[in-house]
Every structure is written in structure tokens, then in C-alpha cells.
Amino acid sequence: MQRIHVIATGGTIEKVYSEQTGNVQNLDAKIDRYFRLLRLPDADIQVTHLMNKDSLEMTDSDRQLVLEAVRQKLKDPAPIVITHGTDTMIDTGLLLQKSLPDLQVPIVLTGAMTPLGFEASDGLQNLTESLFAARVLAPGVYIVMHNQPFPVDRARKDRELARFVWK
């Protein structure tokens, strides 16, 4: 049984539509419902709901909280998947990379361009890929989305194309 930690921080992947306001917002955690759509018979998925923020609103101290949560999980090393808004995913990833020089497991940052459960969402694809990546990638910090693993210092978000590209 492979333990995989999931640290949820919010972002588009967790946004929900509010019938009262007509907006999509980070109101409720939803990734757990989507994990249940996957078959993970030999995985022990441990989800920590750390915060639920649009990543444009994440502050330096929020990023420190993520780092602290990761450090906590690494005391008993197992791969880590972090769900995160795409706009500042690289910032958080670079902080982790810089702060954790002796990683023994992969840390995978993922998210979505369209919220989980909305038509044409890439959220479940990215979760699926990230949970797989967590098992097979070498130690390091990665962004995994749209069929690709990017070492975090090699990725750049292309807002127009709505995806990450190599830099």
C-alpha cells in the first residue's frame, strides 16, 4: 500500500458555482468527491485541506503554511500532491524547491483551468496524472498537468493558451 499525501490549497480546481451570486468561488472543498471516482486500490490517500484560496490571493504567509505542511508530511516520507491555483503555482513550487534541498520523494503541484465537474474540465485528468506521477517520478518538485510533468523551474504559465509551457 503506497501512502500519498494530498495537500489541498484551493485554486480553480476546487471552485464551485454559487447559484445565489452567479460566481465561481473557493467556497467548499470538493476534491474528495472526485477522488472517489478513481480506482486507487493500492493507495492510501491522506487529504489535508490546508486552505481554499484563489492563488492570486495567496500571501507569503500562506506559502509558508504550505511549506510547513509539507515539512510535517516529510517526517515520514511519502509522495505529496498539492492542489493549487495555477496563477502562482510556480511561486509556491519554487519556494518548496529552494527550502527542501534534500527531497527523497516527489512533490507534485497540480490544479485545473476549469473547475472539477464543469464541462470540459481538466481537473480529474490532472488529479489522475498527479496521483500516478507521485508514484513514479524521481524526487523533486514538479508541475503535472495536461499529460506533462514539468520540473517546477522549467515551467511557465501561458495564460492565453490556458496551460503550462516549457521555459
Binding site for a copy of itself (CB under 8 A): 12, 15, 17, 19-20, 22-24, 37-43, 54, 113-120, 122, 125, 128-129, 131-133, 135-137, 144-149, 159-163
At its nearest, how many Å lie between a copy of itself and the CB of residue 117?
A: 3
- In the complex, minimum distance from the CB of residue 106 to a copy of itself, in angstroms, rounded to a whole number: 11
Query: CB of residue 161 vs a copy of itself: minimum separation in angstroms?
Result: 7
- Of the pair 93, 115, the CB lying nearest a copy of itself is at 115
Residue with smaller CB distance to a copy of itself, 67 or 118 = 118
SS3 25: strand
CB of residue 60 to a copy of itself, shortest distance in Å: 22
For a copy of itself, the closer CB: 95 or 129:
129
Q: Which is nearer to a copy of itself, 69 or 131 (CB)?
A: 131
SS3 per residue for 106-132: EEEEECCCCCCCCCCCCHHHHHHHHHH
Distance CA 77, CA 8 (A): 18
Supply the angle between the helices 60-74 and 89-99 in degrees, to the nearest 10: 50
Contact predicate 112/12, CB 8 Å? yes
